[in-house]
Amino acid sequence: MSHAYLDYVKRLSACIREAEDLPLGGFPPCTHAKPASDAPRALLFAPHPDDECIIGLLPLRLMRESGWRIVNVPVTHGSNPLRQAERHQELADACAFLGWDLLPLEVSVGPAPYPGLDLPAILRVLESHSPSAIFMPHARDWNSRHLSTHRLVMDALAQMPSDFTCAVLETEFWGAMDDPNLMVEANDLLLADLVAATSFHVKEVERNPYHRLLPAWMLDNVRRGAELVGGQGHVVPDFLYATLYRLSHWQQGRLLPSPGAGRMLPCQTNPSETLHGNQTGTL
């Protein structure tokens, strides 16, 4: 027996199946204004190539709407030595598509081929870039490389000078956060660009087509985030797609929680204005 919701689910299923035939990577770069030379910087500490795209909604909005410079920092190039050079090229292509800087290869590798960043290397990156914000996985993001990336970045922050300050945005993918405090809306174009960017990681999405499932993940983020961020029983905002983050601030050698209640960042609101109360580009 057919009913309206069966038709709805069938249309969703057909759309997901049709996307199997869409190309992987190879798209021309997105059109965007080049950030100013003195633009605030956000560093994305990505455990693997592709994580930068999956959690990249807020960085993309900061670049497009607030003029930030986004720098991707590949903490590793994956665990398969035979794939690491290829994965670096896929990463470079994805970052070029989005308009993001990529940490130079000679900085992100050591004596062995693509071994991953260590604590001194991450500390040097923080010192040389003086970021206004950093993104990293949260402490319980399940995957071992995500967990070690969190620990490495936190250890590096602890060694920075006492007057160093920046916003810290923890991200989730493999393990959902219990207490995100920021829900960021994506419109169709932002989401489509993140899906396309993820598709540049060709061999990974051929193995597991998570690029095609990114819209479903963002749909579920709205379900979770409405109450996890807004509070139990909160009215669901008129978002279709969103990414969840936990915003804190590194000050005086420690991580301080963001003051106030959880925040919703709709597409019509400038990210810098929402995160800091102004549009100067400083969180």
What are 84-95's pLDDT values in tens digits? 889 999 999 999
Q: How far apart, in whole angstroms, are the C-alpha atoms of residue 197 and residue 90?
A: 10
Q: How far apart, in whole angstroms, are the C-alpha atoms of residue 237 and residue 184?
A: 11
Position of tokens 């455990």?
A: 47
Q: Measured between alpha carbons, how far is residue 139 from residues 149, 157, 177, 178 in Å?
A: 9, 15, 9, 11
Q: Is 5 contained in some domain?
A: no
pLDDT higher than 50, residue 282? no
Number of domains in the chain: 1
Domain that holds residue 142: 39-274
H or E element in which residue 251 lies: strand 241-251
Q: How far apart, in whole angstroms, are the C-alpha atoms of residue 39 and residue 242?
A: 25
State mean pLDDT over 180-192. 97
Confidence of residue 274 (pLDDT cuts 50, 70, 90): low
Q: Is 151 contained in some domain?
A: yes
Q: CB-side exposure of 20: number of CA atoms within 13 Å?
A: 7
Q: Is 58 contained in some domain?
A: yes
Position of tokens 């500490």?
A: 45
pLDDT score at 147: 96
Q: How far apart, in whole angstroms, are the C-alpha atoms of residue 133 and residue 42?
A: 5
Q: Is 20 contained in some domain?
A: no
The rounded mean pLDDT for the chain is 91
The CATH number that applies at residue 194 is 3.40.50.10320
56 CA to centre of own chain: 3
The residues facing 73 across adjacent strands are 45
Confidence of residue 273 (pLDDT cuts 50, 70, 90): confident
pTM for the full predicted model:
0.94
Confidence of residue 83 (pLDDT cuts 50, 70, 90): confident
Contact present, 49 and 87 (Cβ < 8 Å): yes
Q: Is 118 contained in some domain?
A: yes
Least confident range from 182-186, 210-214, 234-238: namely 234-238
Q: Is 25 contained in some domain?
A: no
H or E element in which residue 105 lies: helix 105-108
What's the pLDDT tens digit per position in 2-19?
898 999 999 999 999 999
Position of tokens 């602890």?
A: 158
Q: Is 111 contained in some domain?
A: yes
What's the pLDDT tens digit per position in 217-266?
999 999 999 999 999 988 889 999 999 999 999 999 999 998 877 899 99
Contact present, 217 and 211 (Cβ < 8 Å): no
